[in-house]
Structure 1
Amino acid sequence: MTQIIVLPHVELCPDGSVIEAKPGQSVCESLIENDIYIEHACEMSCACTTCHVIVREGFESLPPAEEEEEDLLDKAWGLEPQSRLSCQVQVGDTPLVVEIPRYTINMAREGKH
């Protein structure tokens, strides 16, 4: 199991959380499995930006984002150099520290599809 530290988020985990994640599982799946209900409007199919996270520690251990993920990230609210879509990031052996941005943009719900 690999540790993921989730920084405090006002709605999803106000006190932050430390979870144990299965290597090979996506960060999104790991969060949901540990009762941190991050939005994932496209059901984790890399078709939206609602599961956007910022990897504050451990980013360099992750494989680079695929072109499809990069294109979607350009539309994410609060984009930073360490931004990733949590549905596309597979947990490895390196512990991660992730921040869930305060806001999210749901392209379908916002009428921008």
Structure 2
Amino acid sequence: MTQIIVLPHVELCPDGSVIEAERGKSVCESLLAGGVYIEHACEMSCACTTCHVIVREGFETLPSAEEEEEDLLDKAWGLEPQSRLSCQVVVGDTPLVIEIPRYTINMAREGKH
């Protein structure tokens, strides 16, 4: 298991969260399994930007983003050099510290997660 530290987010986890993530799963899947209900409007198919995260620690250990992810990230709100789509980042051996941006470009939200 690899630790993912989620920095506080006013709506999703006001006190932050520490998640023990399974290697080989995406960060998005790990957050959802750990009770951090990050948006994922495209059902984790790399077709939107609602699961955008900023990797504050551990970014340099991640494989580079594919072109499709890079193209989508250009549309993300609050884009930073360490931005990634959490559905595309696979958990490895290195602990990660992530920040979930305050806003997304999602215009509609269905259900609780």
TM-score, structure 2 normalization: 0.94
Q: How many angstroms apart in 2 are the aligned matches of 1:107 and 1:16?
A: 25
Shift of 1:37: 0.2
Query: What SS is found at the alignment partner of 2:64?
Result: coil
Structure 1 runs of 4+ with >4 Å offset? none
Q: Distance in 1 between matches of 2:3 and 2:35?
A: 15
Determine the structure 2 residue equivalent to 1:19.
Answer: 19
Identity of aligned residues (%): 89
Shift of 1:106: 2.0
In structure 1, runs of 5+ residues without a counterpart are none
Deviation of the 1:107 alpha carbon? 6.7
Structure 2: distance between partners of 1:51 and 1:77:
11
Provide the aligned C-alpha RMSD in A.
Answer: 1.2
Q: Judging changes above 3 Å, is the alpha-carbon distance between structure 1 residues 107 and 73 closer, same or farther for their aligned structure 2 residues?
A: farther
- Unmatched 5+ residue regions in structure 2? none
Which residue of structure 2 lines up, in the alignment, with residue 57 of structure 1?
A: 57
- Tell me how far apart the structure 1 counterparts of residues 63 and 51 of structure 2 sit (CA, whole Å): 18
Aligned to 2:70: 70
CA contact (8 A) 1:53 1:98 kept: yes
Per-residue deviation at 1:108? 7.7
Q: Is contact 1:48-1:107 (8 Å) kept?
A: no
Paired amino acid for 2:39: E
Q: Structure 1's 45 and 107: CA in aligned 2 closer, same or farther, altered over 3 A?
A: farther
Shift of 1:75: 0.1
Counterpart of 2:85?
A: 85
The residue matched to 1:91 in structure 2 has which SS? coil
Distance 1:106 1:70 in 2: 18
Q: Following the alignment from structure 2 to structure 1, what is the Cα–Cα distance between the partners of residues 107 and 82?
A: 21
Say which SS state the counterpart of residue 68 (structure 1) adopts: helix
